[in-house]
Amino acid sequence: MDAGRGWGPIMIKPSWFSETMGSFCLILAQPPIWRGRLAADYWQQLGQRIRQQGGRLLGIWGEHQDTAGANIHAFFLTESGYLWCTLPLPANLREFPSLSSVFPTACRQERAIRDLLGLEPLGNPDMRPWLRHAAWPANIHPLAMSDIPEDILSCAGEIDYSYRAPAGQDLHEIPVGPVHAGTIEPGHFRFTCLGEQIVQLEERLGYCHKGIERLFVGQPPDAALRLAGRVSGDSSVAYAWSYAMAVESVAEIELSQRALALRGLCLERERLANHLGDLGALGNDAGLAFALTQLLAIKEELLRENAEIFGHRYLMDVVQLGGVAVDLDGRALQHIEQSSKAWRRRLETLDLLLQEHAGLRDRLVATGPITAERAAYWGMAGLSGRASGQAWDLRTHFAPPPYDRYPMEISLARRGDVAARWAVRFAEVFRCLRWQENVVANLPGGSPRVALKAFPKDGEGLGICEGWRGEVFVALRLEDGHIARCHPHDPSWSLWPVLEEAVCQDIVADFPLINKSFNLSYSGQDL
């Protein structure tokens, strides 16, 4: 991570927290995750110090503690590893210091805490509802109540939600959504335009809110794995793996090298499917239907191979506690290797052809740019961050298993436009294919799954992996053998605000291209 790519050296060390703010302990070795609690006086100081030294906020969420009050949790990335920090709030205190002035992506996450728990983020500049539409009344906080009234929907009323459009005589607004023309999830986009040029975009999401965090509460750890794998359907492996890792860290379960390699294989195939689909859709939105047909044909072959070998097109329920549900025999390994090499040859030819297509270049280059400096400001990561010069990829930097055994190269670009995000996706496709060829050719022995003798009754755990959009993590607390709190977190939380900036100064007709180049999750953010 070097400053030329938008990252400065991160010098935060766990010892600094132990000496200055309280006790921090290592709860997971690879990737390294440190856990600790802070007093309110240190909450913003912590964020400021991490930010000054180049760190990132990955997520912030809340937790009700019955008569004991509440907890505010934040998850950071530093050079030493990940920091899971908790701010305890006594029962008589319903406020907490906002981190939005330090990390701008905290703003919406704190608004969600306010909607779900009734805790007020002091200093947050935007106190409008975020997840709460007209689905439940303002005095109902679903994650702070042991029992929710059965007539909650009949009590809900309309919300006067004021959009913040800039003033100007020649400006006009274009409302789009939440219902769209395609078969996609709902979200509202309010464009303020000067002619065709976009001056401002304001998003309003939350239409996919399903109460997932509430559904986790009270479930046994094994039963909840199925729900975790369905938080966001295009990232089923990433969520299931992160959830399983959280449970396994509490249970102190060590997986076999074979199980870890098979999980990695599934994660990379999930990445491949999404990149291929999005590259095809980008080509189609740029007026090149040829790209769509060619790339979707390969994606369909991949999905059918998933169904044949792993039992599900989108690899749902393949990740299990203790390992994976499916082992691969010699025939399956040979099949994967042969198809991977065949796809790589076809994609190499297609990549060269598309690189030379003048019409495609004209639509993608200089469209929707986010500079390295702005990417660092937003704390961008994942494929869109790497397209803006942010040299971070959990698979390469901390290289947790199986990436320590099978190294993965990082894919980078610097322009930060749609063309750069296209290039990073294509580069990752080739690296994923070579990586899976390496895995199937050198798959270690051992059992694909170890049995869990008994689930722990109490404890906290956190799992994280590099999903295709970026880092997906799941934080978990068990109490009396059941889930007391589970927070699954999608990188889309931190990237949706960036999309609002990326479209400014482009024209309305370019929005589908810019939006698809990010392709963020509604469901993973709305929960």
Instruction: Answer whether 87's CB lies under 8 Å from 95's CB.
Output: no
Residues 6 or more apart whose CB falls under 8 angstroms from that of 86 comprise 36, 37, 38, 71, 72, 73, 74
Q: Is residue 154 over pLDDT 70? A: no
**369 phi and psi angles, rounded to 5 deg:** -80, 145
The tally of CA atoms less than 13 A away on the side-chain side of residue 411 is 20
DSSP string covering 378-428, please? HT--HHHHHHTT----HHHHT--TTTTTS-------SS-SHHHHHHHHHHH
Residues 6 or more apart whose CB falls under 8 angstroms from that of 469 comprise 235, 382, 383, 384, 490, 491, 492, 495, 519, 520, 521
155 vs 148: CA distance, rounded Å: 12
What integer pLDDT is reported at residue 15 of this predicted model? 53
Confidence of residue 153 (pLDDT cuts 50, 70, 90): low
| pTM given for the model | 0.95
Distance of CA 143 to the CA centre of its chain: 22
Least confident of 3-17, 38-52, 332-346: 3-17
What integer pLDDT is reported at residue 136 of this predicted model? 84
255 vs 258: CA distance, rounded Å: 8
Confidence of residue 10 (pLDDT cuts 50, 70, 90): very low
pLDDT exceeding 70 applies to what percent of the chain? 94
73 vs 147: CA distance, rounded Å: 23
pLDDT, tens only, 183-239: 889 999 999 999 999 999 999 999 999 999 999 999 999 999 999 999 999 999 999
86 vs 74: CA distance, rounded Å: 6
Torsion sign, CA atoms 380, 381, 382, 383: positive
- Identify the residue whose tokens are 């040029």: 197
Q: What count of other Cβ atoms lies within 10 Å of the Cβ of residue 298? A: 22
Query: SS3 for 425-447, per residue?
Result: HHHHHHHHHHHHHHHHHCCCCCC
SS3 204: strand
pLDDT, tens only, 235-294: 999 999 999 999 999 999 999 999 999 999 999 999 999 999 999 999 999 999 999 999
The tokens describing 375, both together, are 């990417």
Distance of CA 34 to the CA centre of its chain: 20
Query: Which of 410, 409, 500 lies closest to 163, judged by CA?
Result: 500
Which uninterrupted H or E stretch holds 448?
Answer: none
pLDDT, tens only, 447-502: 999 988 777 789 999 999 999 999 999 999 999 999 999 999 999 999 999 999 99
125 vs 4: CA distance, rounded Å: 31
pLDDT, tens only, 58-113: 999 999 987 789 999 999 999 889 999 999 999 889 999 999 999 999 999 999 99
What integer pLDDT is reported at residue 78 of this predicted model? 92
What integer pLDDT is reported at residue 6 of this predicted model? 36
Q: Is residue 3 over pLDDT 50? A: no
* 152 vs 300, residue with greater confidence: 300
Q: What count of other Cβ atoms lies within 10 Å of the Cβ of residue 391? A: 17
- Identify the residue whose tokens are 């296209």: 422
Work out the mean pLDDT of the chain and round it to a whole number: 92
Confidence of residue 9 (pLDDT cuts 50, 70, 90): very low
